[in-house]
Structure 1
Amino acid sequence: MTVTPEQLAGMIDHTQLKADATKEQFTKLCDEAREYGFAMVAINPYPVAQCKKQLEGSGVHVGAAIGFPLGQVTIEDKVAESQRAIANGADEIDYVINITELKAGNLSYLEDEMRQIVGVCREQGALSKVIFENCYLTDDEKRQAATIAKKVRPDFIKTSTGFGSGGATLEDVKLMKSVVGDAVQVKAAGGIRELEDALAFIDAGVTRLGTSAGVKLVDALRAQI
């Protein structure tokens, strides 16, 4: 698949999720997102209002990470956090599933959690992304989560937070795609820092890339062309 620098930029969620990020770093993040035409800035909920104001009129979305990075809060907390983030200007919600309940085989909990958060996003016109954190899951657990997603239909399922013991892999992307097909889009995130890897994920069917190296990736493709 041939991808232009503009198309690549439009697939990138430009990411700043570090605990010690400064307001100046968020300003730089938004400036870069506007300049390069990235799909979204991926941030924690607190700086959503700042980034929304700075990106006004740019077409770049603001995305909030919910239950991040562990997913170990109640459904009610994740729903409330999603609602507040959207009220503050978030256009997209990336939330982490409850891995404990998945490993316990409590698939009804996972489905309820997903339905509630995806429902909030639909009601408010925000995109929804469900983070599996695949590095902690067996292949069967990944399939179970993807099967629920195929039923509930979030906008995306996502490989990783970037804060776990491992990030995106082609094997995981192919497994996820084999379950959801074209019913749900797949986002790869975690450790994507080289152009060769980004293009391989796109070839495997990924339509979003979560990375803090977006500027580097687009510049590398421009230089290659």
Structure 2
Amino acid sequence: MLTRSEMSRYIDSTLLRPDATAEEIRRLCEEAARYRFFAVCVNPGRLELAARCLEAEEVKLCTVVGFPLGANATVIKVKEAETAMEAGATELDAVMNIGLFKDGNYRAVEEEVQGLARLVHDRGGILKIIIETGYLNPEEIRLATRLVAAGGADFVKTCTGFGPRGVAGDDIIYIRSSAPPSLKIKASGGIESYQQALGLIELGADRIGTSHARSIISELMEI
């Protein structure tokens, strides 16, 4: 059992819907500050607004890169990451090139992660790589995890929320079995309840990405 304040520090409160309004972004940031969520995650075009809303807060600012397909050219992803950090993001969730991975072009996948990690780390940020587990079998999840680790990312993240399914407990088990201790796990995709979030944490998730952060926290009474 985690207290409300303990659970809050696991949560990246997320709003990545393409139709999200400015008012919804402001409300997301206000809730994150009130509940002391670890971060908010918004689309790149909303970074400047979110940065203004969180200017005096401890909440981290996160955005996505190559989202949601991961199919952009590496040079585009790197430029997108650079622009996002200039706009105030300190954590980037970048989608792995799933097509290259399925081709067996593992060197290209690893080199892309390396390029992103170099840029993000040079600017003092955190890089999470989304491997979109819904497209991968268990051995592919393990292999993708090893490539993400070799590329120097800080986290492997399960899902975009726009793929064929959300996170499953087995995803965390497969990732944890292949991840070095230095590589953290962000579970995301369809996490809607406290019990679901807690179960993923107990399996080894270090961060929870969810668009249901307030409802998850509302299930808990502060202890």
TM norm. shorter chain > 0.5: yes
CA offset digits 1:92-125 (Å, max 9, x no partner)? 0000010000000000011011000111110011
SS in 2 for 1:178: helix
Residue equivalent to 2:135: 136
1:10 maps onto 2:9 in alignment: yes
Contact 1:83 1:120 in 2 (8 A): yes
Paired with 1:182 and 1:218, the residues of 2 have a C-alpha distance of 28
Q: Provide structure 2 residue ranges, at least 5 long, that are not aligned to the other structure.
A: none
1:161 partner letter: T
Contact 1:150 1:179 in 2 (8 A): no
Contact 1:153 1:183 in 2 (8 A): no
Percent identity over the alignment is 35
1:186 partner letter: I
Residue pairs, 1:9-88, within 5 angstroms: 9-88=8-87
Residue pairs, 1:1-225, within 5 angstroms: 2-222=1-221
2:32 partner letter: A
SS in 2 for 1:24: helix
SS in 2 for 1:164: coil
Paired with 1:166 and 1:222, the residues of 2 have a C-alpha distance of 30
2:220 partner letter: L
Deviation at 1:47, TM superposition (A): 0.7
Paired with 2:170 and 2:198, the residues of 1 have a C-alpha distance of 15
Paired with 2:56 and 2:6, the residues of 1 have a C-alpha distance of 20
Task: Identify the range of structure 1 (149-158 vs 32-41) with the bigger mean alpha-carbon deviation.
Answer: 149-158
1:81 partner letter: E
Paired with 1:220 and 1:7, the residues of 2 have a C-alpha distance of 13
Paired with 1:100 and 1:73, the residues of 2 have a C-alpha distance of 10
Contact 1:16 1:212 in 2 (8 A): yes
Deviation at 1:149, TM superposition (A): 2.0
CA offset digits 1:65-114 (Å, max 9, x no partner)? 11100011000000000000000000100000100000000000110110
Deviation at 1:17, TM superposition (A): 0.2
Task: Identify the range of structure 1 (112-121 vs 149-158) with the bigger mean alpha-carbon deviation.
Answer: 149-158
SS in 1 for 2:127: strand
Paired with 2:131 and 2:110, the residues of 1 have a C-alpha distance of 13
Task: Identify the range of structure 1 (77-86 vs 133-142) with the bigger mean alpha-carbon deviation.
Answer: 133-142
Paired with 1:26 and 1:77, the residues of 2 have a C-alpha distance of 25
SS in 2 for 1:47: helix
Paired with 1:18 and 1:57, the residues of 2 have a C-alpha distance of 25
Paired with 1:181 and 1:202, the residues of 2 have a C-alpha distance of 17
Q: Provide structure 1 residue ranges, at least 5 long, that are not aligned to the other structure.
A: none
Paired with 1:105 and 1:23, the residues of 2 have a C-alpha distance of 41
Paired with 2:55 and 2:9, the residues of 1 have a C-alpha distance of 17
2:68 partner letter: P
Query: Once superposed, which parts of structure 1, at least 4 consecutive aligned residues long, lie more than 6 Å away?
Result: none
SS in 2 for 1:46: helix
Deviation at 1:153, TM superposition (A): 2.9
Paired with 1:86 and 1:80, the residues of 2 have a C-alpha distance of 10
Deviation at 1:150, TM superposition (A): 2.3
Aligned residues: 223
- TM (norm. structure 2) is 0.97
